[in-house]
Amino acid sequence: MEAKVDEPFGQTLAEQLASALEDRMKNPRSMAFARAQQLVESVLGPRTEGAPPLKHIRYQLLTATAGALAEAKRKRESWGVDTVRVVVLIQEFVTSGPSTKKQMANARDLDRFLHRLTHGQTSSIEPGKLVGPLSVSAAPVPGIDLYFGKVIAPVAGPVV
């Protein structure tokens, strides 16, 4: 579950990769760049026509998805079952005022990620809805049904 209040889903992949490369130059043993590359290749795969480029994908959405898939795989193996369902749930806290630019940017970033993840099969998600099972065609994980959900939680005052 990922909860947000007026903050983005982390750096874009372009920013994350640049930062990881800087880290690698400072410390040749740093694995941040290789880790980001592995996540992109295993979860997103190559870009298909019409899909958003990596530079627009938020790294936090990628790591949340990869973590959910890894945990689902671990549970499936430890439980000895054929299929496990995993949900990546985005919870957005909003105040009573109109949607902010940050909320709209987060919605756009989530939609971009879903479009890229599913190679265009799912290009948006509505609050209160669950979409899936989604196919992660880059590296399908047998026996894991992946779902995404988005929940909006109204709050009366400022969130601390």
Residue-wise pLDDT for 6-63, tens only, equals 677 889 999 999 999 999 999 999 999 999 999 998 888 888 888 999 999 999 999 9
Give the pLDDT mean for 141-155: 86
User: How much is the pTM?
Assistant: 0.86
Q: In the predicted model, is pLDDT for residue 160 greater than 60?
A: no
Backbone angles phi, psi at 33, to 5 degrees: -65, -45
C-alpha closest to that of 139 among 59, 73, 83, 87: 73
Whole-angstrom Cα distance, residue 83 to residue 81? 6
**Is the CB of residue 60 less than 8 Å from the CB of residue 122?**
no
